[in-house]
Structures are given as structure tokens and as C-alpha cells.
Structure 1
Amino acid sequence: MKNVKYIELKNQWDYEEDDSEANGQLSFSAKIVLIQLILLVFFILFVLFFQGTLNLRKSVKSENTRLPEWNKSSSIKRVSRFQDNYFTKYESRYLNCTEFINGNQGAIDSYVISGKLRLHKDKLLGLQMDCDSIKNRLFGDLPPFKHLKRSIAFVRNIYQLYELQEAFLSMIYHPSHFYCYAIDLKSDERLKKSMRVLSNCLDNIIVLDKEYDFDRSGHKQDEAHFDCSKRILEKNWSHAITLQNFDLIIKTPEQLSDLSELLNETSIMGSDHALTDRYDTNADWTPVGMMLFKNESEVPDEILHKKLVVRKSLNEVVLSKVFVLSMFEKLNLNMVIKRFDNESLFGVDEMMVMTLYENYLGLDGQVEVDFTDSREDELTRFTDWQFNQPDGPNAECKSHWLRHSICVLGVEYLQEISKSPMVIANKVLETFDFGTVICTREMMNDNKTGRSPDADWLSKRFPQFRGMRVKVNS
């Protein structure tokens, strides 16, 4: 044992032997004392050894039977896989992303029965928040970044859990892209502080100082998205993707760059009739009545006095920079945002951008297209809808859980996600199944994502793409 000084004991014995040689043979009583001393030493050694063995056995038994504890104070954390940043190895023992993506139902059932990987704000592993640690979590396990032909701006409104937002970012981070975040003023201080630390560590990540009063009805979503867009307007990006808290990007940075090059000046969104209980049907919806244009003298009368048809889609859209720039340059955006952000109505965040884009206003990045029919958006957002059913357990969802008429995405959806042409999947809850995030990241790193669209595919589904190609090439 470490406390037994064998060298010192040997030295003492040598000293007594030398002394005996100098003084002759030891007396009988001295020999008895010496023997007793030796026996005492061996007894002490035996006790120490037995006690150490007993403690070791107790330690091993305890380690094998106890559940893993959340360690917030550890200064050194061993990370060999991405999930180790957020979970213990014991908790993630049933996570088998390859089998999930391949649709192995047995592997999925074992993972689900074991309890899934869930993040709760009161049970989190302590993340090191220095810049080196943040960068290592984001892209330390990734190969060198590839050159991108075009850069994307990700404009995201958030309100909860830093770990989820960091994991989302790690899936799509590239030094050539730009990321702007708007935070709900009701968010906890941990999220706000952590996001600002993240922003300070990387130049292409921006967190707005202003905070917003988001709610389920969609209020302040448009305002926050456009404040973020304005903040990064001078940056070198080609398309902006608007996102909300639980939106999961399912295409790689390279795929998104290629998509931007293919779209060129085209914006992508769904096309549908707005529900009349979501906007003021009695208001004056002509551009002149809305005071929509900054300089009305430059606008033809047929545009200025034509009543806008209010349109809707989803909050998530892909906007070309030329269209965004034109909106800021020519329109009174603050006024039109207020027009749509009616505090007494529900679902107000799904109409403004669509209405401005789908009514021809002579803006750059816009073409005259007949949007009177409904057209499903087959590119922007993957969603498994189950309408008119209560939140909670739901047999129609693959994950068996419904929230706000949308099936929450668990690992049961990974195979479908891996084949989808969509850019975004909604919705992912970290308190329901964080394994979906981890495995989608692995899927993207392994280049097992769904097909990227080509020009023919886009032309068949998006009339604005066909029209913009003619306009640009004419």
C-alpha cells in the first residue's frame, strides 16, 4: 500500500544489523523485542491490505449497481461520441443510429423501451462554455470544411434550452454561413447568457440584443425574423431560411449551398388561401391603403390600387437575398408587420411574407405568377399532421405523441427523414427524444440525407422557379 514505507523499514533493519556486528551478538531479551516488532509490523500490513481490498470491492459493487449521476461540476469530461456531450454512456447505450436510419424496428423498440434520450433543464451535464470547448462540440469531430459556392443565412427564433440550439447549430455549422438568433424575453437567463457567449466565440453567429414576446399564436415572429434579416443584410449570403425553436435542418451545408445556386433568385414557400379568422378582412388591403411603399410615385397604378389577396403558408420559408433586399429598400416593413401581427388573432406568423411574395408588387426576385390555387410546399418543411386531435398520446403518429396537431419526431421517423427532399423537419422536442437530433446529425455527417432537387423537379412543383428562370435568362 502507498502508506507503507518499505524502503524506510529496510533501512531500519540494515541499521540494526550493522549495530549487532559492532557490539557482538544480541541478548536473548533483545531478540524477543525484535521478533515482537516484526510481528507487529506484519499485523499492521495485513490490516491495511484487508481494509483496502474491502473498500475496493465496495467501490466496484457500487459502480456496477448505481444509476449514473449528472455531474455539473466536473472540469474534465471524456467525450468519444457526440452524444457524450449531453448524456452518460450508460444512458445512450441503446442509441444505434445506423439501425434506426435503416428502419430496424427491433433496435428502435429497444431504445424506446429503455426510456429514450431526453434533456430536461434540471438534469443537464455541465457544459464547458469557453470558446475552445464550444468549438470542439460544434465541429471538433467533423472533417475539414469544404468550400461552398454560396452562403446561407439561418434566421431562427428561439425560447428554450441552449443544448438543443447548440446541437442544431452543430449539424449545419460552416464558417461561410451566417446565423442570427432572436430570443424570447420569457426565456431563462441560462439560455440568454449561453447564446451570447456562443455569439462572442464565432464571428458568423449573431444574437440580437432586443428580446421578443413570442407566443403560440405567432406574435412577434415576423418582427424578429426581419430584425435579424436586417442585421445581417450586409453579409455575403444568397438565401435566408427562417426557423423557429423546434425546427430541425435535414440537409447538409453543402446541399443547402448547392440548392441556393440552383434557385438563384427564386424564393420557395407554400401557397394557400389565408384563413379569414387570422386577419382583419375589413381592412383596406390595397398597397395605397396600407401605405405599403416608401415611394408611391415609382409604383404603377395597377399595383398601387389593386387589393392584395392575403395568402398563407408555414412560417418556415426560403427567401432569396435579392427579394429580401428589395423589401427593405421599397416597402414600409414596420407598418406591414404591424398590420399582420394582430394581437387578438391566432396564427398570424404564416401570412405576411407569403402575401408580399405571391401578390406581384414589382419587387426584385419576384415574377408574375397565378397563386390563386393552393400548392403544397414539397421542399421547405417535413411535417406529419394529425388535425383536430388533442395533444399527447396518439396512435396515428409513428412516435405516438402529438403536439399542436403535429406528430413529434422520434427516431421512428429517421428512415423517412433520410429519404425526404425537404430542407427542414418539424417538430423535435428535446424532452421527448433527443436521439432524433443526434442521429440526424450522424446521418448528415455520413451523407445519408435525402435527395437534392434538380431543375426539372423544381420546375414541376414551383411556378415561380420556372418564371424566374425565364426572367433571369431573358
Structure 2
Amino acid sequence: MFLSSLKKQFDFYNKNRRKILVVCLSLSILFCLVFGGINHATCCIQFKDQISKTYLRGFYSDIQKQKAIDPPTTCIPKHINCIKLVMGEREELMKASGYIKHNKTGNKCQLRNLVENCNALKIAHNYVTDNKTIFKEELEFPLAFAIKMHTSPEQAEQLLRNIYRPHNVYCIYVDKKSKEETFNLIQKVGNCFDNIFIVENRIEVVYSSINLVEAEVECMRIVSKSKKNWKYYINLTGQEFPLKTNLEIVKILQRLNGANDIESYEYPFIMQQRYTKEHVIKGNSIHKTNNLKHSFIKRFQMSKGSAYGAFSRPFVDFILTDNIARMFLKWLNGTYAPEESAWATLNTLPWTPGGFHKKAKNPTASFLSRAVIWSWDKSRCRGHYIRGICVYESGDLPWLAHREELFANKFDINRDHVVLDCLEEVLRNRTKDNKVENLNWDFYNTLPHAEYYAKFRQMQSSNNYLQRKKEMWLKDHNVTEMLEPISSRG
């Protein structure tokens, strides 16, 4: 009775969130006017957080008493209370820190032993393999995932098992520089499933070179040949992890109305030498030269953003077949970090399916795909930084558990495996609960690209409309003769 009552109270809050916050703001402003010096925004945030934490503590406490939380896998540590860690309890965090230092994975749970028997792997790591346990809405909205990795097969496999569904399709690209054991382990994992494809024709990926774009395009080609009628392509690294269940991801992507979720903003002036100067690969790194690089097309606008996102199926088809898109990807060879400009720029072209048109483009707080803490962000990183990006640890769980984004970047299983294990436990239980109404739908419904495509989806997806947009763009840029497009591989 208590749990049912508490859930009803939280559901009431969730459905009436806007009204409650408006009342809170109004009262805070009134207090400010009367007493002065009171931060009404802080009041509202604390008020909302307190309700959320009260609900979570009561909800999880009651479930624990009933022993309703299933361990996500037989190979996950049993001595850590993930609920307390998610709630940010300091004592449990100290306990987790000690556990990480003194406990290692047992032999029977090591990946190199599990992959020798596919059934053992699926059972030990609780892979979802039965379509009967999957919602019809998920089955009708299959997804394509691409994972690019170079290290830690155990961490990549943990990511894989948490996004795996038999109706989706997966491509895994292991950097050729990786240890042979890493590739062999991932290949054995892939051999256990008919919808996981391991790229055989690999290259040694040089950081910030065209290799990253080439690897991505290779996976796009592979999943496009699949018989699965997937709707969105989500690209990942082996060091990322989902913050949402498959059903939640499907529901959220459906709200995009066919729009791509790709970070895109004007290329900063101080960084433009990345594409105005020629860059060459020497050994395992890329170097800038003093040679000017010719422009792709006169008055062509370059954009910058994340290399990762959620790409609609028509956008992936566009990348693989459109002559301008293919020429642009070829031109990017010789630039620095082309993966940060490839999709961000293509997504702004007027005839791009699901692209960001100027009316929908909003670089601030509208990138749905990734939760990232940069070294210059206000959010505090409880882990450590690598190349300016926070590598999350157990102390970041309260922040991660309340994010609206689909995935978080990045993690290091060798430094802190508990943060991944606890996120896995949260996801497993949310998959079992399937209460998608508790997500922050105000956030998803008001994303600028989602709102724009909600109004113009039918017109914007018309091939004739997009072709006219392309013809106008070509004429405006005085492009009359097209260069030879890049050749297909495979």
C-alpha cells in the first residue's frame, strides 16, 4: 500500500510538474520581493530534487524489502548497494571505492572463458534474446548500432549486452592497432548472434584523421545491407554506456519525427586552420603543414560538432549515395578531426533528410544523444579528465541517473567498474518496470529539431522537395560540374 501510494504521489507530481514549478517560482519571487536576497531558481531546483529523491528512496527501499530487484547478471558483484550510490550516499561511495581496489572478476566470469560457450555467455550476461519479452513498439522500430573500439573487450561487451535486442542490427569495428586477443574475443561474441557484424576489412585508425570517418562509413554500409528495416543509426565508442532502455530510446527517437540528432554549430574561427591547412599522417599521428587546402566549394559553410549522434535511415542513405555528400567526405581527407565536421556539416545542407535547417538549429542544450562533462563545464566531474572529457566514476552516478540524454561518454572499466555495473542494474530494472511516462517528456517534446519536424515532416521528407532544395543550392553556389564522387568500398 505504501509503495502504491508513493508512486501515485510521484505520478501526480510528474504529470503536474509545470504547474508545481510555476507555483514554486511564483512563491519564490514573492519571497524575494518581501524579504530580498532569496534565489528563487535554487528553491525550485531543490524542491524538485527533494521530491525526486524522496520518491526514489521510498520506491527503492520498498523494493529492496520485497527482494524484487533482480541482479542484472550472474557475474555482477553482489556486495555493492547501487541504489544508495545513485542516491549519492557518501558511506556507500567509500565502500565502493574500497571494493574496486580489492576485488577482481572471477575466472568463470571472465569474457575469454564465457565466449567459448554461447549459451553460457547469454545466460551469465542476461542477453535479451526472446522477442516475446519485447514490446511491439520496439519490434516495429528497430535500430542500428555501430561500436568503434580499440581496447577493453570486456567493457565493449558490457555496452553491447545492454543495447542488444534480437530485432536490432549491430556493427562492431575493432581498430587494427588493437591487440589480436581483443579482436578475437569480440569476434567470438559476434559469432554467437546472427545480427552482430564484426568488420573484417579493418585499418589502423589514426586519431583525428579521416580513418574515423572511413570506419563509420564502413559500418553504415554493412548495416544498410542488413534485412532489418532499422529506423535510426546510433554510433558509439566502446567507452560509452546507455542511460536509457531500448524502449525508452525508441520512444524518444519517435518524438524526433524523423529529424537527425547531431550536434552542429558554426566552426570557431580560431580552429579553422583544421580545414584551411593541409594535414598529413606521419606514423600514428596527424600533422599540420604550411600548405593551404583548397576550399570544397566557394562560400561553403563548415560546421563543427560531435562525431556521434542518432542518424535517421534516410540520412544514412544520403551519406552513402548523394554525390555532394560523397565528394565532401573525400575532400575531408587532409583535414584535422574530420569526424567532428563530417556529420555536423552534412546535416546543415538544405536537402539533407532530417537535417537541421536554420529555423531548427540551436546549438545550446539541444543535443540529445550524449551526456558529456567537459573540463570547462559547470557540472562537477567526480572521476578524472582525459583530453578535457570526464571519465565517470561511482561518484558521478547521481548526475548520470537523472540525465535526459540517451548515452554517456566516457567510462573506464579498469579504473571503476562499479559505475557501469550500477548503471546496468538501473537499466535492467527500468526495462522490467517499463514506466516510460516518468521520463522528462517536456524536454524531448520541446527540442528545436523535434518541434520543427513535427510541423513540416511530410513536406521535408518529400524527395521532390529535397531535390528542388539541392538544385537551388547548386545554382546559388555556382556548381555546374560535379567532380568524380568517392568510390565505394566493398
Judge same fold: TM > 0.5, yes or no: yes
Amino acid at match of 1:135: K
Contact 2:360 2:452 in 1 (8 A): no
2:212 maps to: 221
Contact 2:148 2:236 in 1 (8 A): yes
In the TM superposition, what whole-angstrom CA distance separates every residue of 1:405-436 from its partner, at most 9, and x where no partner exists? Answer: 12211111112111110011111001111111
Q: For the residues of structure 2 that align with 1:160 and 1:436, how far apart are their CA atoms?
A: 18
* 1:370–1:279 CA distance, 2 compared to 1 (3 A): farther
Contact 2:144 2:168 in 1 (8 A): yes
Amino acid at match of 1:468: Y
SS at match of 1:254: helix
Q: 1:111 aligns with which of 74, 96, 99?
A: 96
Following superposition, the deviation at residue 396 of structure 1 comes to: 5.6
Following superposition, the deviation at residue 332 of structure 1 comes to: 5.7
1:242 matched to 2:242? The reply is no
Q: For the residues of structure 2 that align with 1:83 and 1:411, how far apart are their CA atoms?
A: 19
1:127 matched to 2:113? The reply is yes
Amino acid at match of 2:244: K
* 1:315–1:123 CA distance, 2 compared to 1 (3 A): farther
Following superposition, the deviation at residue 378 of structure 1 comes to: 3.9
> Which runs of 5 or more residues in structure 2 are unaligned?
1-69, 278-291, 460-490
Following superposition, the deviation at residue 202 of structure 1 comes to: 0.7
Q: 2:302 aligns with which of 310, 317, 336?
A: 310
Contact 1:265 1:468 in 2 (8 A): yes
1:324 maps to: 316
Amino acid at match of 2:150: Y
Following superposition, the deviation at residue 471 of structure 1 comes to: 2.2
Contact 2:175 2:202 in 1 (8 A): yes
1:154 maps to: 145
Contact 1:131 1:201 in 2 (8 A): yes
1:398 matched to 2:382? The reply is yes
1:349 matched to 2:339? The reply is yes
1:434 matched to 2:423? The reply is no
Contact 2:257 2:450 in 1 (8 A): no
In the TM superposition, what whole-angstrom CA distance separates every residue of 1:197-230 from its partner, at most 9, and x where no partner exists? Answer: 2222111111111113224335411111111011
Tell me the TM-score normalised to structure 2 length.
0.66
Following superposition, the deviation at residue 250 of structure 1 comes to: 1.2
Contact 1:119 1:434 in 2 (8 A): no
* 1:386–1:170 CA distance, 2 compared to 1 (3 A): same
2:224 maps to: 233
Q: 1:164 aligns with which of 136, 155, 159?
A: 155
Following superposition, the deviation at residue 141 of structure 1 comes to: 8.3
Q: For the residues of structure 2 that align with 1:123 and 1:313, how far apart are their CA atoms?
A: 42
SS at match of 1:85: coil
Following superposition, the deviation at residue 175 of structure 1 comes to: 1.0
* 1:368–1:142 CA distance, 2 compared to 1 (3 A): closer
* 1:101–1:459 CA distance, 2 compared to 1 (3 A): closer
Q: For the residues of structure 1 that align with 2:440 and 2:262, how far apart are their CA atoms?
A: 15
1:259 maps to: 252
SS at match of 1:402: strand
Amino acid at match of 2:119: D
Amino acid at match of 2:381: C
In the TM superposition, what whole-angstrom CA distance separates every residue of 1:241-288 from its partner, at most 9, and x where no partner exists? Answer: 1111211111101111112322231101222222313222654545xx
Q: For the residues of structure 2 that align with 1:319 and 1:186, how far apart are their CA atoms?
A: 27
Larger Rg: 1
2:374 maps to: 385
Q: For the residues of structure 1 that align with 2:232 and 2:104, how far apart are their CA atoms?
A: 32
Q: How does 1:270-349 map onto structure 2 within 5 Å?
A: 270-274=263-267, 275-280=271-276, 283-286=293-296, 289=297, 307-331=299-323, 335-342=327-334, 345=336, 347-349=337-339
In the TM superposition, what whole-angstrom CA distance separates every residue of 1:162-221 from its partner, at most 9, and x where no partner exists? Answer: 211111111111111111111100111111112222222111111111113224335411
Amino acid at match of 2:120: S
* 1:123–1:220 CA distance, 2 compared to 1 (3 A): farther
Q: For the residues of structure 2 that align with 1:244 and 1:117, how far apart are their CA atoms?
A: 28
Contact 1:407 1:427 in 2 (8 A): yes
Following superposition, the deviation at residue 82 of structure 1 comes to: 4.9
* 1:367–1:398 CA distance, 2 compared to 1 (3 A): closer
Q: For the residues of structure 1 that align with 2:145 and 2:329, how far apart are their CA atoms?
A: 20
Tell me the TM-score normalised to structure 1 length.
0.68
1:195 matched to 2:186? The reply is yes
SS at match of 1:445: helix
- Structure 1, 216-225 or 437-446: larger mean CA deviation: 216-225
2:453 maps to: 468
Q: For the residues of structure 2 that align with 1:219 and 1:367, how far apart are their CA atoms?
A: 24
Contact 1:312 1:355 in 2 (8 A): yes
* 1:372–1:81 CA distance, 2 compared to 1 (3 A): closer
SS at match of 1:155: strand
SS at match of 2:198: strand
2:348 maps to: 358
Aligned alpha-carbon RMSD (Å) = 3.2
Amino acid at match of 2:455: V
Q: 1:185 aligns with which of 176, 182, 185?
A: 176
Following superposition, the deviation at residue 370 of structure 1 comes to: 4.8
Q: For the residues of structure 2 that align with 1:333 and 1:256, how far apart are their CA atoms?
A: 28
2:261 maps to: 268
* 1:179–1:433 CA distance, 2 compared to 1 (3 A): same
| Aligned residue pair count | 360
Contact 1:159 1:187 in 2 (8 A): yes
